Amino acid sequence: MKVRQSVIVVDAFAERPFTGNQAAVCILSNPASTIWMQAIAGEMNLSETAFLHRRPDGWGLRWFTPTVEVNLCGHATLAAAHALMEAGVGEAGKPLVFHTRSGSLAVIPDGTGYAMDFPALPVRPEQAPAGFAEAIGAAPVWSGTNGMDLFAELQDESTVRRLKPDFTRLGEFQVRGIIVTARSAEFDFVSRFFAPASGILEDPVTGSAHCALGPYWSARLSRTELLGYQASARGGRVRVSVRGDRVVLGGQAVTVLRGELAVPADTSGETWPTTLLERR
């Protein structure tokens, strides 16, 4: 008998539907093969698809873009916590613990949203690579990296909001993504996140980027409690609390779709998804 596998689509870092960042969440009865999960993520074709399975010490969690598995994803973690709360698994005020490539991550539903305890990913100064200003469409006033993403502060908020990058050229930089940011009049800072090398031109709201943005703006503004706005077309607010080598990210989430996978989870890694991926 085929085991039913649920899938839902959640708008994360969103107070209402059709804003924030979309993530699919698949709640699995058992761990599935990497090949199968990557195929499902490609089929969903959202910036991230999260896969959950129950463990004695919490939940196993992995994240996939349509083309690659990633080490850390904030919005899909928020979406995963929201999916479990709606399934009646979690309880307000008690942490949900996820075991991931980036270690154990705790998410606490607080009644109005979710607080996610993530590792800080501070950036260090580094000259932007050759051709960066031309690819992004603006000259940085400060540039750096955290080993995963390129990071650039731009002249002002309007520059960040008006950017029209050359995605082909951005995709040539061998990094997960590119974070651009500036001080904001309404918020503490604004940002955008581009990741063409990871199969995403622009990510609507990127929780993991705020693991770098939080420490950066905390040092600049001499505050540990911050409010960021990711200025994509969908847009989303992220509350950031910097606590030493950890960053607590806060936001809300809304479910927009519930369904069931028509293909069973593969646990061998040797069945039909292999040939499907080879045709992509």
Could you tell me the maximum CA-CA distance found in the chain, to the nearest angstrom? 60
Which residue type, as a one-letter code, is found at position 87? A
Q: How far is CA 69 from CA 120, 185, 216, 232, in A?
A: 20, 36, 26, 23
Per the annotation, the verdict on 172 as an active-site residue is no
| Beta-sheet strands, E only, within the chain | 5-12, 21-28, 48-55, 58-64, 69-70, 96-100, 103-109, 114-119, 124-125, 142-145, 149-153, 177-183, 189-195, 200-203, 225-230, 236-243, 246-251, 253-261
First to last CA, the chain: 30
Neighbouring CB atoms inside 10 A of 193's CB total 25
Active-site residue, selected from the candidate residues 15, 43, 48, 202? 48
Which residues are paired to 60 by β-bridges? 53, 99
Residue in 91, 146, 98, 138 with CA at minimum distance from that of residue 118: 98
How many Å is the Cα radius of gyration of the chain? Answer: 18
What is the DSSP-derived secondary structure letter of residue 164? Answer: -
Evaluate whether 106 touches 118 at the Cβ level (below 8 Å).
no
Q: How far apart are CA 7 and CA 50, in angstroms?
A: 10
Residue entry with tokens 């154990």: 104
Enumerate the active-site residues. Answer: 48
